[in-house]
Structure formats: C-alpha cells, structure tokens
Amino acid sequence: MKSIYITSVERYSGKTAASLALGKRLQAAGRKVGYLKPLSLQPWRVGEHWADEDAGFVKEILGLESQPWEMSPVVLTREALQEVLAKGQQAGLMDKVRAALDAAAKGKDYMLLEGGGSLREGYAVGLPTPEVAAELGSDVLAIVKYRDEVRLLDDALTAQHRLGELLRGVLINRVPEDAARFVQEEAVPYLEKHGIAVLGSLPEDRSLGALTVQEVLDVVGGELLTEGHDPHALVETMTVGAMTSEVALSRFRQQPNKAVITGGDRADIQLAALETSTVALILSGNLQPSPLVLKHAEEAGVAVALVPDNTLEVVEAIDRVFGKTRLGQLAKLERFEALFAEHVDAKRLDAALGL
C-alpha cells in the first residue's frame, strides 16, 4: 500500500477536489483506493459519532466501505481540544491516526490522505502535516492556490521549506486568465529552478467556488420575501452595497451572478443591483424594502431575504463559507475532473508520486 498526502499552504485551495479527482483516476485504472483525513477542524455530527464534514461525500463518490467517522480519526471539537490541553494526550493522537490508517488500508493499493486547512494546522495537538506525513511514510502533493504573483511563489517555497524531501510536487490552482502568462513563463521556471516540481496549473473557474442561492439563504436565515427565484442558481461573487447608487451601478455591472448585501432601506442600491446580473438580495437590519423593489425582483427571478443582522454580521457569516469549493454538487466535481485531466501532466504526476 502506498499513501499520498494532499495538503495546502492556505485554506480552501482545492484539496478535497484534488483528492477525489486523483482517487477516481486511480480507480479508473483498476486500483483500490482508500481515504483518510488524519485531523479535522470541521466537525460533522453523524449519529453518535463525529466525522469530518467532507467525509460523507468522499465516501459516496469513491464508493468506500469505511464509515465517515472511520475516515476522520481525530476530529477536533471544542471538547476534544479541552481534553487534549488538560491531559496532554498529543502522543496518543498520532497512535490513533496510525491505527486508523492501518484499518482503512487493508486491501487497498493506495491511500489518499487529506491534510488540514493549511500547513499551519495541527501543531497544538501534535499532528502537524509534516510530522504526520513523515510518520506515515507518505509522499506529499501540495495544492497552491493563486492569490497574487508574490504569494504564489512564497506559498510554494513555504511548502518546500516545511515539507522538505517529503514534497513530491505542487499543483497550482485557481489561476485567473490574466495571470496565466506569468504562471507559465515566469513562476513555473522559477520554482522548477528551486527544486519544486510543478505538476500542473489549473485555471480559475468561479463556478467551482460558488454557492447556490439556497445555500446563501440557509447561511443568512431570515425571511424570504420572493418566490420566483431559482434556488440552484450560482452565486459567484458577493458585494456590499454601501456606496452611492451611481458608483454601485458601475461596480455591479462588472460582477456577474452576484449576491448584494445592503440595508433594507437602500432602495437605490437594490434597484441598481436589479438592473445587473444579480441572483440574490440580502437586506440587513430587518428593514422592509419598498414594494417596487419586490415587484422588480419577482420579475427578474431574484431572491430577496430580510435578515435581522447588520450588514457586517451578514458578510462575516457568508464569508465563512464563500470561496470554499463545496463539492456537494456532482456537476462541480465533474468540472474539476475535466480541468484536472486537461491541465495536470499525468505522466509527470505518476512519476513524482510513484503511481
């Protein structure tokens, strides 16, 4: 059995998507694949058990027999953290991870291990990714999300610094169209010169990080004031309407498929949003909008929700989930698989990971 540890420097970089794409590729080649997330900071209650929030979806997509809680041996709830800090049981957690891997690996050719949200996680409980990967004898693949030119280079070099010889290569993810030339002609040669194998560069696809209108409504709660919207429409961008209507209209025209968060008394902003590509209006402060706004929203098929929180609280609630590639929708995974197949050097990936 061979284990491959998939990690990232920054949260929401595409680790789960990459794990699933790699897992399905190995299964298509006739290999038996298992999955484990050694440490989870995203608790998900399954009956009497705690599991990682993505474990159920991974189990379904890869057709695994293991239960979600068996694939996430250490789930760090508040209570679990307090117990670790009080009793100093960090050493025992590594043993728990090892036992979970041994159990899940039976009959498998490959085990895919998914790292935490970033390379910073796990130190407080004795389970930092570099130590776990070394303990389990895993080859490591790092996903580096493009944020800007300097941070791309720094993130890749950080992965190399922290992982050392365990790092077999990096995948650069979410590269905007206007950054593609820099990545291919400058960043990749620079990183290769510094001993970092760049195994692929995937373009940005905003639909992968989008939420559905219904997911946004579930996050913000409140009262839904319209009915004629599509709950499955994707919210690709989020913006706050706190400027003049003239400035807002100019900005709104540059943002497709957006949710606009503004006060319920800002009819000028709401109407400006409805003149552009908007799929949801979130009205803060429990201030009822004008009948004219609701009439236009119904005609345009835009969801309008009235929430008691102030604008900042609404933004913070959505921001906690926005930008994460939520793969609960199969169409998103299929799109990512297509990008993976097109933009990853399969032969080099296989050689780097010993597949």
CA distance 4 to 26: 12
Question: Predicted confidence band at 91 (pLDDT cuts at 50, 70, 90)?
Answer: low
Helix (H) or strand (E) holding 5: strand 2-8
Residue 326 pLDDT greater than 60, yes or no: no
Spatial distance between the Cα atoms of 191 and 183, rounded to a whole number of angstroms? 10
> Contact, 179 vs 49, CB < 8 A?
no
Residue with more model confidence, 27 or 240:
27
Q: Do domains 2-207+326-353 and 211-319 have the same CATH topology?
A: no
pLDDT for res 207:
73
Which of 109, 126, 129 minimizes the C-alpha distance to 117? 129
Q: Is the pLDDT of residue 53 over 60?
A: yes
The mean pLDDT of 101-113, rounded to a whole number, is 94
Domain residue extents for the chain: 2-207+326-353, 211-319
By the 10 Å C-beta count (0-12 exposed, 13-18 middle, 19+ buried), 337 is classed as middle
Which pLDDT value is given to residue 36?
95
The pLDDT of residue 92 is above 60:
yes
Q: What is the pLDDT of residues 111-129, one digit of tens each?
A: 999 997 788 899 988 899 9
Is the pLDDT reported for residue 181 higher than 60? yes
Confidence of residue 157 (pLDDT cuts 50, 70, 90): very high
Q: Count CB-CB contacts under 10 A for residue 306.
A: 19
CATH of domain 2-207+326-353: 3.40.50.300
Question: CATH top-level class for 211-319?
Answer: alpha beta
pLDDT digits (tens, 9 = 90+) for 258-314: 889 998 888 889 999 999 999 999 998 888 898 999 999 999 999 999 988 888 888
Average pLDDT, the chain: 88
Tokens read off for 95: 């043993």
Can you give the pLDDT at residue 89? 62
